[in-house]
Amino acid sequence: MRHLQGPRRGRLLAVALCAIALLTACTSQQAAEDPNAPQPGTLRVLASSELSDMAPVLDRIADDTGIKVRPTYMGTLDAVELLAKGRANGQYDALWLSSNDYLRLRPEAAKKVVSETSVMSSPVAIGVRSTTLGELGWKPDDVTWSQIEQAVQEGRLTYGMTDPARSNSGFATLVSVASALSGAQSALNDADVTEATPRLKEFFKGQKLTSGSSGWLATAYKRRGSVDALLNYESVLKGIPGLTVIRPKDGVVTADYPLSSLASTNAATRDDVRRLTEALRTEDVQRLITERTHRRPVVASVAPASGLDPGRRRELPFPGSRSVADGLLDAYENELRRPSRTVYVLDTSGSMEGDRLAQLKQALADLTGDFREREEVTLMPFGSEVKSVRTHVVEPAGPKAGLAGIREDTEALSAEGDTAIYTSLEKAYDHLGAGRDTFTSIVLMTDGENTTGAEAADFDAFYAGLDRDRRETPVFPILFGDSDESELEHIAELTGGRLFDAQEGSLDGAFEEIRGYQ
Amino acid sequence: MRRIAGIILAVLLIGGVVAAVVAGRSNEDGTATKTVQAVIGSEKAEFFADPDVVKALAAKGYTVKAETSGSWAMEGLDLKGYDLALPSSQAPAVALAAKYKVTGTLPRPFYSPLVVVAHRNAAEVLAANGLATLDSEHRGTFEMAAYLDAARADRTWQQLKGARKYGELTGTLYLSSTDPETSNSGALYLAAASYVENDGKVVATDAEVDRTAPLLHKLVSVQGAQQAGSDAVFRDFVSGAGNPLVVVYESQVASLLAKGQQPDDLVVLYPDTTVNSDHTVVPLTENGKAVAELLSSDPKLRELQARHGFRPQGESSEFALDTTYLKQELTGVHQAAVPTSEVLHELARRARGQGGHST
């Protein structure tokens, strides 16, 4: 029953799209004007979010060559799905993922790529807090995955990583860990994954932090102060102060950032892509890349920036078939990782009447297909007070019952009453209690300001009075309708969450994006 | 007679230089040269981007706009509006010629043998275990038959003498190649391996395909996901990422050396049985045909081909290279013929067959 439901890529697509203005960081779902209108001299590039750190390099190239890059950040799986379905045709001029390994497992997507040129590289690594490193007595050059595993098992090491279903770095990390711990001597196959499952399960017990993006992972890591290490690309980890970055001795998966031109584009566009590629591979730019972004150059005449250890590492082969890659991902989501417990605090006050409530119901119904096995979902609709508290668990033995329950409760939502945001949030914290070895979080969806019950100051005091464990539950507020951005931003900041925008983007898009953080 | 030809050639050359200058000038006004749209294998991108090549072509009245694609992937492209295709070997070229109804002999201006590039630690361990012999610090021979035996037995680095001291040498011993279904160098690797596995005969019959396919499947499935182009695998190697043994074209190494690079951690191993990549032109228009002709016969372009590490067809005197890493003459390297396009496709398909190493 394990492969009951693969990760829901079809739906992810519509959603994880966060197109943005030139070279700015991605904060919301969509930009105000049509983000995909073609513009001469500007390449619309479907890119991995890790590439946002390339802005200074791309600025320089724009000055030198006149070619501008307008990135749209997306996870690998979503991007590959988009390509496979032909929906990138006419929307994007080039593809720039951290790796095309997964793309190659989908021939219908791979066919859409004409040529690809690797631009730089960065291996998966573990960044360990200096104090922890001392306690473990590790010598950074000699650390192996088995050692990491042992430290996790002994309870001496906890870590954070990004969600493999939504982030390239998470996916590469998952493959590295699975390959190394399975003991497979060559590319992973289905049997290797099955065999390694018990060990992997142990290993992922040490994962205390999950995130939909590398950026928030770093922020949450700093804030918590209780997580010992992060698993991510070397380039990302090198940018976080206080971490000793270790490439495990027994092997890593390396991202090689191939800039790829697309068959659906015309020759002139592909020529621009070629010029951009050439510009990226000049010695000066390669030097700039390695110094600014801590990635490794792919031109032999340029040395890696200081601090990047030149020692060799075994390259762990990436799975050669889709069934293995998808199977691994599926196992991670439904079996290996710690399950999540989430409370959805949903504004169903009078102002939600009509279209807004319909949107909410639709968004929740869509989301239902995305819940993982073992996940606990609580719906907490509120108006003048919390209206009901309904908890459902997606049981691996019979996941349909839990999902049907969520759908039923969603259908029954009705709009009435005032808006008691803070009182309801306090209820949500009370409901969750201690973490019980799960990823806990609260999603707050509201279309207006707090009008009744506890005030912001009351909630601040309430939160300050929680014990440390419970303070680790973040609130992810969604900006929707007439909700007050500063009020919600404050809640996100206070609790270590992140604000999502469904005013610019869509409500189902926001719900979907939050999945990466749960 | 010879002398006269030489003089004529010299005159032509001088004329060429003049023409280049003229073409260069008139080019700025947006006239003069004819633009030729080409789709080429990725390993030739640097050749066509070289300002000297651009100049030499302009001298003859042409500007080549080259776009790269996997050699076998060219079949999937719409080549309307293109003047020529230049895949990295004959088999995909023949398939393209059939698709676009190109008749006549397809020009093969230059070639390059398949080689194995190795990091020094790996080369040293191979040599200590009878899988390679080293002529010098940076050059040697790769023993194909011994390697295929090791692959058949799933030999790991840990089982090889002397590997223990190198942490990066663990896991199954294998050569990395490109995807044989889309890229030429990967397919040619299978051609060489199948030739050895088929007792020194080119695989031609169904029975021979059946007999060699299991080993080829092993050689490919052990690699997991494969890169789509020869340039990418070589880049990974150069950047220090990836497998320590990679199948590439000799020309890629030569091109790197020609830029003055002397990579310390590079050993070039010539397989004792290898295959050549015969870069073959498929002219799609009259302009394409003219450029194809120039690539084969223009002395300047031939010289530039050699500078980029390709071996021009015919006499080899143009090919003078850095013998620290490369062999001037390919003596002692057996050149296996390549199976027909159909057979090679089938071998690639069977080698890539889904299911991994245990299904």
Question: Using an 8 Å Cβ cutoff, are B291 and B57 in contact?
Answer: yes
**Nearest CB to B67 within list A114, A187, A324:** A114
Q: Are residues A93 and A117 in the same domain?
A: yes
Q: Are residues A392 and A265 in the same domain?
A: no
User: Structure tokens of B72?
Assistant: 């076998």
Q: Are residues A26 and A68 in the same domain?
A: yes
Which of B152, B221, B357 to substitute to test the interface with A, most A CBs within 10 Å?
A: B357
Distance from CA of A385 to the nearest CA of B (A): 54
Q: Are residues A44 and A65 in the same domain?
A: yes
pLDDT score of A34: 60
What's the pTM value of the predicted model, to 2 decimals?
0.82
Put simply, whether B37 touches A (Cβ < 8 Å) is yes
Q: What is the CATH number of the domain that holds A173?
A: 3.40.190.10
Q: Tell whether the model's pLDDT for residue B23 goes beyond 70.
A: no
Which of A321, A323, A324 to substitute to test the interface with B, most B CBs within 10 Å?
A: A321
pLDDT score of A3: 38
Which residues of chain A does B37 touch, with a Cβ-Cβ cutoff of 8 Å? 267
Rounded Cα gap, residues B16 and B61, in angstroms: 10
Which of A304, A374, A390, A301 is CA-nearest to residue A337?
A374
Q: Would the CB atoms of A267 and B231 count as touching at under 8 Å?
A: no
Distance from CA of B247 to the nearest CA of A (A): 16
pLDDT score of B318: 60
Which of A30, A15, A291, A338 is CA-nearest to residue A163?
A338
Over residues B241-292, the pLDDT tens digits come to 789 999 999 999 998 888 888 888 999 999 999 999 999 999 999 999 999 9
Distance from CA of B152 to the nearest CA of A (A): 13
- Relative to beta strand A243-246, strand B311-312 is unpaired
The answer to the question of residue A304 being in a domain is no
User: Structure tokens of B190?
Assistant: 């299978």
CA B131 from centre of chain: 23
Put simply, whether B162 touches A (Cβ < 8 Å) is no
Distance from CA of A189 to the nearest CA of B (A): 6
Tell me the CA distances in angstroms from B25 to B10, B20, B36, B189, one per residue in order. Answer: 23, 8, 19, 45
* Share of residues in chain A with pLDDT > 90 (%): 69
Rounded Cα gap, residues A250 and A444, in angstroms: 43
Q: Tell whether the model's pLDDT for residue B193 goes beyond 80.
A: yes
CATH architecture of B2-109+279-312: 3-Layer(aba) Sandwich (3.40)
Which of A261, A3, A251, A223 is CA-nearest to residue B243?
A251
Q: Would the CB atoms of A187 and B223 count as touching at under 8 Å?
A: yes
pLDDT score of B189: 97
List b or e across A380-395, with b for residues whose CB sees 16 or more CB atoms inside 10 angstroms: bbbbbebbeebbbbbe
Residues 6 or more apart in contact with residue A103 via CB below 8 angstroms:
A76, A79, A80, A83, A95, A97, A109, A110, A113
Domain B113-276+323-352 sits in CATH at 3.40.190.10
Q: What is the CATH number of the domain that holds A510?
A: 3.40.50.410
Question: Using an 8 Å Cβ cutoff, are A490 and A469 in contact?
Answer: no
**Nearest CB to A317 within list B121, B223, B231:** B223
How many structural domains comprise chain A? 3
Higher local confidence (pLDDT), B231 or B103? B103
Which residues of chain B does A145 touch, with a Cβ-Cβ cutoff of 8 Å? none
Over residues B113-152, the pLDDT tens digits come to 999 999 999 999 999 999 999 999 999 999 999 999 999 9
CATH 3.40.190.10 in chain B, residue ranges: 2-109+279-312, 113-276+323-352
Query: Running DSSP on this structure, what letter comes out for residue A282?
Result: S
Put simply, whether B122 touches A (Cβ < 8 Å) is no
Strand order in the sheet with A42-47: A18-19, A68-73, A42-47, A94-96, A258-262, A113-118
Q: Which residues numbered 299-328 in A keep a CB inside 8 Å of some CB on B? A: 299-301, 310-321, 323-324
ipTM of the complex: 0.75
Closest chain B residue to A309, measured at CA: B240
Amino acid occupying residue B159:
Q
Range of the domain at A75: 9-121+256-297
Q: Are residues A260 and A231 in the same domain?
A: no
Q: Are residues A90 and A45 in the same domain?
A: yes
Question: Using an 8 Å Cβ cutoff, are B301 and B295 in contact?
Answer: yes
Cα three-residue angle B90-B92-B98, rounded to 5 degrees: 100
Q: Would the CB atoms of A267 and B76 count as touching at under 8 Å?
A: no
Q: Are residues A267 and A382 in the same domain?
A: no
Which of A89, A96, A115 to substitute to test the interface with B, most B CBs within 10 Å?
A: A115
Query: Running DSSP on this structure, what letter comes out for residue B103?
Result: -
User: Structure tokens of A163?
Assistant: 């969600």
**Nearest CB to B235 within list A185, A267, A298:** A298
Over residues B92-119, the pLDDT tens digits come to 899 899 999 999 999 999 999 999 999 9
Rounded Cα gap, residues A300 and A312, in angstroms: 15
Distance from CA of B10 to the nearest CA of A (A): 35
Rounded Cα gap, residues A488 and A479, in angstroms: 7
Q: Are residues A54 and A107 in the same domain?
A: yes
Q: Are residues A50 and A159 in the same domain?
A: no
Rounded Cα gap, residues A350 and B54, in angstroms: 71
Q: Are residues A412 and A347 in the same domain?
A: yes
List b or e across A342-366, with b for residues whose CB sees 16 or more CB atoms inside 10 angstroms: bbbbbbbbebbeeebbebbeebbeb
Over residues A170-220, the pLDDT tens digits come to 999 999 999 888 888 889 988 888 888 999 999 999 999 999 888 889 889
SS3 state at A445: strand
Question: Using an 8 Å Cβ cutoff, are B20 and B55 in contact?
Answer: yes
Distance from CA of A304 to the nearest CA of B (A): 9
Stretch (H or E) spanning A346: strand A340-347
Q: Would the CB atoms of B225 and A323 count as touching at under 8 Å?
A: no
Q: Would the CB atoms of A251 and B170 count as touching at under 8 Å?
A: yes
pLDDT score of A166: 84
pLDDT score of A325: 92
pLDDT score of B46: 85
**Nearest CB to B229 within list A116, A263, A267:** A116
- Residue B211's Cβ-count burial label (10 Å; 0-12, 13-18, 19+) is middle
Reading chain A (518 residues) residue by residue, the pLDDT tens digits are: 333 333 443 334 333 333 333 333 334 334 445 656 777 789 999 998 889 999 999 999 999 999 999 999 888 888 999 999 999 999 999 999 999 988 988 989 988 998 888 999 999 999 999 999 999 999 998 899 999 999 999 999 999 999 998 888 899 999 999 988 888 888 998 888 888 899 999 999 999 999 988 888 988 999 888 899 999 999 999 999 999 999 998 889 999 999 999 989 988 898 899 899 989 999 999 999 999 999 999 888 899 999 998 888 888 989 988 999 999 999 999 999 999 999 999 999 999 999 999 999 999 999 998 899 999 999 999 999 999 999 999 999 999 999 999 999 999 999 999 999 999 999 999 999 876 789 999 999 999 999 999 999 999 999 999 998 899 999 999 999 999 999 999 999 999 999 999 988 889 889 988 998 99
pLDDT score of A36: 65
pLDDT category of residue B183 using cuts at 50, 70 and 90 = confident
Q: Are residues A180 and A265 in the same domain?
A: no
Q: Are residues A498 and A403 in the same domain?
A: yes
CB pairs under 8 A between A and B: 162
Which of A461, A498, A502, A460 is CA-nearest to residue A480?
A502
CA A241 from centre of chain: 21
Q: Tell whether the model's pLDDT for residue B328 goes beyond 60.
A: yes
The number of residues in chain B equals: 359
**Nearest CB to B226 within list A104, A185, A297:** A104
**Nearest CB to B225 within list A104, A250, A296:** A104
What residues are paired with A128 via a beta bridge?
A229, A244
SS3 state at A92: coil
User: Structure tokens of B119?
Assistant: 């990091």
pLDDT score of B319: 66
Rounded Cα gap, residues A493 and B241, in angstroms: 39
Q: Would the CB atoms of A188 and B182 count as touching at under 8 Å?
A: no
Distance from CA of A271 to the nearest CA of B (A): 7
A155: left (phi over 0), alpha (psi -120 to 50) or beta: left
How many Cα atoms are found within 13 Å in the side-chain-facing hemisphere of B115?
28
Contacts by B287-290, CB closer than 8 A, 24 or more apart: B287/B34, B287/B36, B287/B62, B287/B83, B288/B36, B288/B38, B288/B82, B288/B83, B288/B84, B289/B84, B290/B60, B290/B62
Amino acid occupying residue A416:
E
Which residues of chain A does B221 touch, with a Cβ-Cβ cutoff of 8 Å? 186-187, 320
pLDDT score of A305: 95
The answer to the question of residue A293 being in a domain is yes
